[in-house]
Amino acid sequence: MRVLGVDPGLTRCGLGVVDGLPGRRLRYVAVGVARSEPELDADQRLLAIERTIEEWLEEHAPDTVAVERVFAQHNVSTVMGTAQVAGIAMVAAARRRIPVAMHTPSEVKAAVTGNGRAGKAQVQAMVARLLQLDELPHPWDAADALALAVCHLWRPAGALGAPQRAPGSMTPAQRAWAAAEQAARRR
């Protein structure tokens, strides 16, 4: 299964593609950032991000798109732009009939590090380790996009579109992620 992870942002939108292989192995495919210039009007910024997402969908042909679920932030203008970019990614995937999954930041952190409150540097280091990268993925948005793809691939068995696994074969990080997901559903 090939997953395109999208870490939405209006200035920088992280994009990362990871293949899930048999035996819960991962293969790095690509990472990058869609950018827009802050001095442009919002519609032009969204158009620039949308064009890059469209190019990535065409080039990498993912089976699923995993998008970070927008959460409430103190800066309303930031959350608005983030939500708008998330919507663009979802529409671009829907246009191609590619399933979309949403994951919270804490779910992603728990999936790759085992700690739903891990810092950006820890996520970045674990993504590099899991994908056997020679260098840390930069900027943070790019690392977060790869983490989203890994998170989606490592969801527990039985989750919609999740790879099937033998009982008890989840890693500690996957078990922590599953617990975080259950807690989030109860809220």
pLDDT in tens, 143-182: 999 999 999 999 864 354 443 333 354 556 656 666 666 6
pLDDT of residue 167: 39
Residue of 50, 68, 144, 181 with catalytic role: 68
Spatial distance between the Cα atoms of 120 and 165, rounded to a whole number of angstroms: 29
User: What is the edge-to-edge ordering of all strands in the sheet holding 12-21?
Assistant: 25-35, 12-21, 2-7, 64-68, 100-103
DSSP code of residue 116:
T
For residue 41, what pLDDT is reported?
96
User: What residues in the chain have per-residue pLDDT under 50?
Assistant: 157-158, 160-167, 169
- Correct CATH for 2-158+165-186 of 3.30.70.20, 3.40.605.10, 3.40.50.970, 3.30.420.10: 3.30.420.10
The reply, when asked if residue 134 is annotated as ligand binding, is no
**What percentage of the chain carries pLDDT values higher than 90?**
75
Contacts of 46 (CB under 8 A, 6+ apart): 10, 36, 84, 85, 88
| H or E element, residue 20 | strand 12-21
The model's pTM: 0.82
Cα(57)–Cα(34) distance, integer angstroms: 13
**pLDDT value for 75:** 72
Q: What confidence score (pLDDT) does residue 70 get?
A: 83
Q: What is the DSSP string of 30-46?
A: EEEEEE--TTS-HHHHH
Please confirm, yes or no, whether 39 is among the known catalytic residues: no
Runs of H (alpha helix) within 23-162: 42-60, 76-95, 105-113, 120-130, 140-153
Beta strand 25-35 with 12-21 is: antiparallel
68 carries an active-site annotation: yes
Q: Is 7 a catalytic residue?
A: yes
CB atoms within 10 A of CB 132: 10
Residue from 50, 141, 144, 181 carrying the catalytic annotation = 141
For residue 77, the model assigns a pLDDT of: 72
